[in-house]
Structure 1
Amino acid sequence: MAVNINKSVFCRITNKKNPLQYNYRVQGVQLQHVTHFKYLGVTITSDLQLGRHVNNICNAAYQKLKYLKGKLHNASPEVKIMAYKSVVRPSVEYASSVWDPYRKTQIQKLEKVQRRAARFIFSNYDRNQSVTELLEKANLESLQNRRKIARLSTYYQLISNHYNIDTSRYFRPRVVRQLRAKNTRQAIPFRSTVDCHKHSFFVKTLEEW
């Protein structure tokens, strides 16, 4: 596959305050330096923080929700729920196993999308109406809990060798000596002091497994 040099950029990913400054060239062409880029639908920043990605997907979700409001103004709640689950929710859950946020503000920002969708579903914008009740009525589980389930499911698929990935590069199985151990697929936990690593997929999910 040929690489389009004119569309290629590079990003320094580091938590150092004074990282090494080096320019990269491909086929004699100097690549443009960027602080963030999108890869397979996920916005990656030089400091591996999730704020920009969360903002991007929330904005996209609101645009889709606005579109549904215009098209399904007189539709039944059942139709609106189906539309939300098919069009809006996937946009804030795509590849969530690898970017599940840990900051409260980012978690709340994502939940706000679903809370606004709940009002749309029942056409109820009364400030005195509890959104929590609307969410329960629509049987919509929190996005945070759905992301957790998605991570655990992905982890299970990995340790069950359902993916063509050498998992030994990412975690080491723990030898369980008890014959009646509740979990026979335990792994040695990671040691981490950097937040972006501490809350990354393998470290975070392994602790919950």
Structure 2
Amino acid sequence: MRITLRLNVIETNYHLGGSVLSVVSEYPYLGLTMTNTLSWQKHINNITTRANRMLGLIRRNLRASPQKLKQQAYFTLVRPHLEYCCTVWNSHTKKLITQVENIQRRAARFVLGNYHQRESVTAMISELEWTSLEKRRQAASLQMMYKIHNQLIAINPNNYLTAMQPSAARSFHPSKYQIIPARVQVYQYSFFPRTVAWWNTLPDNILTSPLPEVFKGAVASRI
């Protein structure tokens, strides 16, 4: 797979074991559908299709079940399809954000058993006290950033991040990082440039949370 933004792509053959490797525009890798344009449209199409199928299954089998059981089925069997590796594929376009949120909107109707077209689904989600999937993805990115910052996972922050320069500004904190400049959107909305901007808005007491669980709870209550 050749990943480039060039209009005139340099065509080069690659060999492995004496055989010429075929060229593809997309390929599944560790549960993600990677494309040569770094667009997540194909991946989001795939996960929303799987989530829709699972939602249809539980709707057929749990139609008469209590609300609590329906909700747990959605949380356990549907929502994971929409959140696996979301720190990688978290899209910034309104179209793709809405495509994912529509699954949760249909799930809210199912859980409450309310299919009246004139009823507000936004009100239903509020009644259920569900957080939007977009905000959950933001929280997941910040939790990953916390683990990287505190070196709790095998990603060296020094390879990707630069500490904010000390200053007398009230917004300065040694746990914050310099904003990462990006020339193109595909990089601007990738994990590090995007999450650093979110990370720097967090107050000092959250940035210095002693445990991942404490940080997770503080972020969830903030966003």
- What TM-score does the superposition give when structure 2 sets the normalisation length? 0.85
State the number of aligned residues.
199
What is the letter of the counterpart of residue 20 of structure 2? Q
Corresponding residue of 2:92:
102
State the secondary structure of the residue aligned to 1:124. Answer: coil
Q: Residues of 2 paired with 1:104 and 1:179: CA distance?
A: 34
Q: Is the 8 A contact 2:41 2:96 kept in 1?
A: yes
Corresponding residue of 1:122:
112
Corresponding residue of 1:133:
123
Write the mapping of 1:189-208 to structure 2, written as runs, cut at 5 A.
Answer: 189-208=179-198
Which of the residues 91, 94, 102 maps onto 1:112? 102
Runs of 4 or more consecutive aligned structure 1 residues displaced over 2 Å after TM superposition? 175-184
Write the mapping of 1:31-180 to structure 2, written as runs, cut at 5 A.
Answer: 31-178=21-168
Deviation of 1:177 (Å): 4.0
Greater alpha carbon shift after TM alignment, 182-191 vs 51-60: 182-191
Q: What CA RMSD, in Å, does the superposition of the two structures yield over aligned residues? A: 1.4
What is the letter of the counterpart of residue 35 of structure 2? T
Deviation of 1:124 (Å): 1.2
Q: Name the structure with the higher helix share.
A: 2
**Residues 180 and 190 from structure 1, CA distance in 2 versus in 1: closer, same or farther, beyond 3 angstroms?**
closer
Q: Residues of 1 paired with 2:172 and 2:148: CA distance?
A: 19
Corresponding residue of 2:219:
none
Q: Is the 8 A contact 2:166 2:172 kept in 1?
A: no
Residue identity over aligned pairs, in percent, reads 32
Q: Is the 8 A contact 1:81 1:138 kept in 2?
A: no
**Residues 105 and 179 from structure 1, CA distance in 2 versus in 1: closer, same or farther, beyond 3 angstroms?**
closer
CA deviations over 1:6-60 (Å, ceiling 9, x no partner): xxxxx10111111111121100111111101111111111010111111111011
**Residues 180 and 207 from structure 1, CA distance in 2 versus in 1: closer, same or farther, beyond 3 angstroms?**
closer
- What TM-score does the superposition give when structure 1 sets the normalisation length? 0.91
Q: Residues of 2 paired with 1:183 and 1:102: CA distance?
A: 27
